[in-house]
Amino acid sequence: MKIAVVGATGLVGSEILKVLEERNFPITELIPVASERSVGKQVTFKGKQYTIVSFEDAIAAKPAIAIFSAGGGTSLSLAPKFAEAGITVVDNSSAWRMDPTKKLVVPEINAFTLTKEDKIIANPNCSTIQMVVVLNPLHKRYGIKRVVVSTYQSVTGTGKAAVDQLFAERAGNQDAPKVYPHPIDLNVLPHIDVFLDNGYTKEEMKMTNETKKIMMDDNIAVTATTVRIPTIGGHSEAVNIEFENEFDLKDIYEILGQAEGVVIQDDPQNKVYPMPLTAHGKDETFVGRIRRDESQPKTLNLWIVADNLRKGAATNAVQIAEYLVKNELV
């Protein structure tokens, strides 16, 4: 099967190539695409060199699937061109996520809704994905009423320039180009993406709106504070969940222990809990610090960590592509 990766030179794009390789995705030909300035350069995949081509050449090559990670603007203009040519697009950007005619997919939760007619499929925001894979099995059992989440997000979520800013500051170069409005090393920014009229950031509203769409329940209330911290391994989240029904903590462990793609790391006595350093490079979502909120009934506290470039982006997109292939939807 021919697969195009649009944005193949970016942070997420390179992770997509790694994940496709590691999971042995049935590729007969890789078609890497990037901006005009990268056409003709090489990327390595499975030990072979591939030349980056323009989007026009990629469409002409007729891949079955194109995985996009080249920003919202590029997706808005190019995804329809691929779709019109009969190529199924799995898009990592926020461009199509809340479009009612497009599916927003986390395979463990709602891939069963996909059909051959879905030509542009949206991959959710990283901080949303790692939260919903944990929330969904709990919602099915106890019904979730409200979620209060605070995030601690890696600079890799912003892209390569942000990683460069962090390391330049750490090396003492305060004049390095800045993508954040303030220093990020030795700092914490309660600011991810742009501020909206309601005082929340776009990242915060993504967590609220995307959660309802993926979990197919508009009644789940989600309020978020999203924060950038100087780390690179993954995003962390402190999550407070109020259920409709009373729960047994033992059952919570059992449900999460069986949840697809979720790994429990919860042994505080031995200092075992999820961390970005240990989640880095992994495809799973890690959950720990599982405990009852003692301030009110039917409420649970959790700590969730995942590599935002993996399950938060590349892995989830590749899993969608795998589902399409396995179910003969492309």
Per CB under 6 A, the segment of 98-106, 109-117, 121-129, 296-304 that binds ligand 11C is 121-129
Using CB under 6 A as the binding rule, whether residue 230 contacts ligand A2P is answered as no
Take residue 181 and report the two structure tokens written for it. Answer: 């409005």
Query: d(Cα 279, Cα 274) in Å, to the nearest integer?
Result: 7
Question: 151 touches which of ligand 11C, ligand A2P, none (CB within 5 to 8 A by kind)?
Answer: none
Q: Does 291 count as an annotated binding residue? A: no
> How many Cβ atoms from other residues are within 10 Å of residue 51's Cβ?
12
Using CB under 6 A as the binding rule, whether residue 74 contacts ligand 11C is answered as no
**Which residue in 139, 191, 235, 280 is the catalytic one?**
235
DSSP code of 183?
-
Using CB under 6 A as the binding rule, whether residue 151 contacts ligand A2P is answered as no
Nearer to ligand 11C, 27 or 93 (CB): 93
Q: Does 228 count as an annotated binding residue? A: yes
Strand order in the sheet with 262-264: 221-225, 144-152, 235-243, 299-306, 285-292, 262-264
Candidates 14, 75, 88, 94; binder of ligand 11C (CB under 6 A) is 94
Take residue 320 and report the two structure tokens written for it. Answer: 């969608």
Using CB under 6 A as the binding rule, whether residue 58 contacts ligand A2P is answered as no
Beta bridge partners of 48: 45
- Which string of DSSP letters, residue by residue, matches 73-129? HHHHHHHHHHHHTTPEEEE-SSSSTT-TTSEE--HHHHGGG--TT--EEEPPPHHHH
Using CB under 6 A as the binding rule, whether residue 63 contacts ligand A2P is answered as no
Using CB under 6 A as the binding rule, whether residue 157 contacts ligand 11C is answered as yes
Beta bridge partners of 240: 148, 301
Task: Report which residue's Cβ sits closest to ligand 11C.
Answer: 157
Using CB under 6 A as the binding rule, whether residue 236 contacts ligand 11C is answered as no
Can you give the three-state secondary structure of 297-328, one letter per residue?
CCEEEEEEEECCCHHHHHHHHHHHHHHHHHCC
Q: Least distance (Å) from ligand A2P to the CB of residue 125? A: 14
Nearer to ligand A2P, 81 or 146 (CB): 81
Beta bridge partners of 291: 301
The count of residues interacting with ligand A2P (CB under 6 A) is 18
Query: d(Cα 309, Cα 315) in Å, to the nearest integer?
Result: 8
Q: Least distance (Å) from ligand A2P to the CB of residue 255? A: 35
- Which string of DSSP letters, residue by residue, matches 218-267? TT-EEEEE--B-S--S-EEEEEEEEESS---HHHHHHHHHHSTTEEE--B
Strand (E) or helix (H) holding 57:
helix 55-60
* 280 classed as catalytic: no
* 126 classed as catalytic: yes
Per CB under 6 A, the segment of 40-48, 120-128, 173-181, 278-286 that binds ligand 11C is 120-128
Which residues line the annotated binding site for NADP(+)? 9-12, 37-38, 308
- What positions carry a catalytic annotation? 126, 235
Residue ranges binding ligand A2P (CB under 6 A): 6-11, 13, 33-35, 37-38, 55, 70-71, 74, 159-160
Which residues line the annotated binding site? 9-12, 37-38, 97, 153, 228, 308
Residue ranges binding ligand 11C (CB under 6 A): 93-94, 125-127, 153, 157-158, 192, 203, 206, 308
